Structure 1
Amino acid sequence: MKKIINDPETVVAESLRGLALAHPDILRVQEDPAVVVRADAPVAGKVAVISGGGSGHEPLHGGFVGLGMLAAAVPGPVFTSPTPDAVQAAVRASASDAGALLIVKNYTGDVLNFETAAELAAAEGADVRSVVIDDDVAVADSTFTAGRRGVGGTVLLEKIAGAAAERGDGLDAVEAVARKVIGQVRSIGVALTPPTVPHAGEPSFTLADDEIEFGIGIHGEPGRERVKAEPADALVARMVEAVAGDLPFEPGDEVLLFTNSMGGTPPIELYLAHGIAERLLAERGIVVRRRLVGPYITSLEMQGISLTLLKLDDELTELWDAPVHTAALRRGV
């Protein structure tokens, strides 16, 4: 294993210190338990949108703390859910009297620990709601989940819900727009290589030189099937078919297309795949109205990509276009 780390046990804490030093105008980091908080939080009268989960998916979630997105993020150990006390600490640090919305990816540990934290925060008098995102079309259940997994759609959900909170929407309205996103977003991922978790010291699974894992999870969980490596046109067509056919997306639908690197895929390949996906969607009569391309929800150094489609309407488009200023996503500010 070759990684730029000191000790697997301290890699998350050291990384968070570096994040805080790099972006002091945007965020601050609290230690023990670890929480990334918007620099000016709590903001009076503003709903706090909070998310989190295991580390190793950067820039998700800490990189999305800031104006127009998250009020706080809760990073657990690599690929391991944060504890309820850490989530509760995030609510205390970022929530005002307007309440908080917890965005939870559908993994068993995340759902249980965020639910426990919400109950503890409510006992302290906080108005806390939770939504669970489950946008992965690859599998119905997996090692980590009961039901579909929460994957690339989480990035879009955090941006749109964060924008609703930023414009001053109340907790009911922020929750409603979050649930709308969850109902209209779908994703699929593929892996060419496995990730190596620092404390494990070896790849989390093995693939033959001519194999691809189709439907991979963001922790390296198995997907739908292992297929032979194939040219990009065929692979992206397989992905578009899986995603577009699930909602289903119909001719005339306007969508946001998010083409994501799983960590190790270079931009030259990512943009190539994005171009193919746009062409295939156009052939289906689906209109790509907005786009996001880059490594925004990763699996350490895994080589692979994911595609996410969000069905847009005027409200979701307006919220997507709203200003955002975070470590990983910035525009209009």
Structure 2
Amino acid sequence: MKKFINSVDSVLAESLDGFAAAHADLVALGAERKFVRRCELNPRKVALVSGGGSGHEPLHAGFVGYGMLDAACPGQVFTSPTPDQIVEAAQAVAGDAGVLFIVKNYAGDRMNFEMAAEIAEGRIATVVTDDDVAVENSTHSSGRRGVAGTLIVEKIVGAAAEKGLNLEGCVALGERVNTRTRSMGVALTSCTVPAAGTPTFSLGEDEMEMGVGIHGEPGRRRVKLERADAIADEIAAAIVQDLDARAGAEALLFVNGFGGTPTIELYLMYNAARRMLEKRGLRIARSLVGSFVTSLDMAGCSLTVSLLDSEATALWDHPVRTAALKW
């Protein structure tokens, strides 16, 4: 294992210190590094809080700021944040309008956010994301996994909260966006968790894992490496079939890198995916390409498609200012 670290035990703490210092105009660390919050809070809006295991950066701390999250709770690598982290984050950012938890569908995340909701004071609601079409159940979840589509929910609901939508409205919007969003990933290599020191799984030089999870969970099947067009075509077919979208529907296409894939390949995959989706009747109206929901150093990518209407498009276009997304 070759990584830029001083000690396996201090990786997260030192990374959080660096993140907060680099983006001191946007974020501040909570006590004992339990959460990252916005520097400037608006007590009149619904506060959005998310979190999960580290190793997926910039998810979620990179999306703390105007137009998205008010706070994020980083757990240890691939480990859920604890209920006390979540409670302290909620209390630090809560205003008069209540708090919305946005939670990926993993057993530990759901359990700890549910416990936090029971403990914390004030009005709290939850939206669960489960956009992965690869498998119905995995080693970490019951039902579909919450993956890169979580970013889209956070962005659209975050914009609505900035515009004054109430807590009930934010929940309904988040659930609607989640039901109109689907993702699927493919891995070319494993990732290596620092504490383990060895790859999570092994792939042959000519193999890929189709439908891999963001923690390295197994996908649909392990197959021989194929051309980019063939990979994009299989993923696009699975997503479109699951979405059951009408011909001519507008959509957002998000091509997400897993941490070890160069940008040149991500744009190549975007080109392939766009063609395959348009062939199936979708019209790509908005796009995002980059490594935003990663799996440490895994080589691979995911495709996410989110169906748009005029409201969702306007909220996607709404200004955002975070460490990872700005427009």
| Residues 189, 277 of structure 1: alpha-carbon distance in 2 compared, 3 angstrom cutoff | same
What runs of 5+ residues in structure 2 fail to find an aligned partner?
none
Question: Which residue of 2 is the match for residue 47 of structure 1?
Answer: 46
Matched, 1:178 2:161: no
Question: Which residue of 1 is the match for residue 107 of structure 2?
Answer: 108
Query: Which residue among 220, 223, 226 is the counterpart of 2:222?
Result: 226
Question: Which residue of 2 is the match for residue 11 of structure 1?
Answer: 11
Aligned equivalents of 2:183 and 2:276: distance in 1?
16
Residue deviations 1:173-220 (CA, integer Å, cap 9, x gap): 111110111110000000000000011111000011111000000000
Matched, 1:189 2:185: yes
Question: Which residue of 1 is the match for residue 283 of structure 2?
Answer: 287
SS in 1 for 2:275: helix
SS in 2 for 1:165: helix
Deviation at 1:97, TM superposition (A): 1.4
Aligned equivalents of 2:78 and 2:2: distance in 1?
19
Aligned equivalents of 1:307 and 1:250: distance in 2?
19
What runs of 5+ residues in structure 1 fail to find an aligned partner?
none
Please show how residues 1-333 of structure 1 align to structure 2 within 5 Å.
Answer: 1-32=1-32, 34-41=34-41, 43-121=42-120, 124=121, 126-331=122-327
Deviation at 1:243, TM superposition (A): 1.0
* 8 A Cα contact 2:240 2:280, kept in partner: no
Aligned equivalents of 2:82 and 2:33: distance in 1?
9
SS in 2 for 1:216: coil
Residue deviations 1:80-120 (CA, integer Å, cap 9, x gap): 00000000011011111110100000000000000000111
Aligned equivalents of 2:137 and 2:207: distance in 1?
22
Aligned equivalents of 1:33 and 1:276: distance in 2?
41
Stretch of structure 1 that moved more, 209-218 or 238-247:
238-247
Alignment size in residue pairs: 327
Aligned equivalents of 1:240 and 1:213: distance in 2?
16
Query: Percent of aligned pairs with the same residue?
Result: 56
Deviation at 1:250, TM superposition (A): 2.7
SS in 2 for 1:246: helix
Deviation at 1:33, TM superposition (A): 5.2
Aligned equivalents of 2:45 and 2:115: distance in 1?
23
Aligned equivalents of 1:152 and 1:40: distance in 2?
26
Structure 1 counterpart of 2:100, one-letter code: L
TM-score for both structures, normalised by structure 2: 0.99
Aligned equivalents of 1:232 and 1:32: distance in 2?
44
* 8 A Cα contact 1:33 1:89, kept in partner: no
Aligned equivalents of 2:210 and 2:265: distance in 1?
17
| Residues 31, 194 of structure 1: alpha-carbon distance in 2 compared, 3 angstrom cutoff | farther
SS in 2 for 1:188: strand
Stretch of structure 1 that moved more, 319-328 or 91-100:
91-100
SS in 2 for 1:80: coil
* 8 A Cα contact 1:47 1:99, kept in partner: yes
Aligned equivalents of 2:211 and 2:33: distance in 1?
33
* 8 A Cα contact 1:33 1:85, kept in partner: no
Aligned equivalents of 2:311 and 2:304: distance in 1?
19
Structure 2 counterpart of 1:311, one-letter code: L
Deviation at 1:271, TM superposition (A): 0.3
Stretch of structure 1 that moved more, 1-10 or 76-85:
1-10
* 8 A Cα contact 1:187 1:306, kept in partner: yes
Deviation at 1:55, TM superposition (A): 0.2
Aligned equivalents of 1:233 and 1:178: distance in 2?
32
Please tell me the root mean square deviation across aligned C-alpha atoms, in Å. 0.8
Residue deviations 1:253-273 (CA, integer Å, cap 9, x gap): 110000000111101110001
Deviation at 1:31, TM superposition (A): 3.6
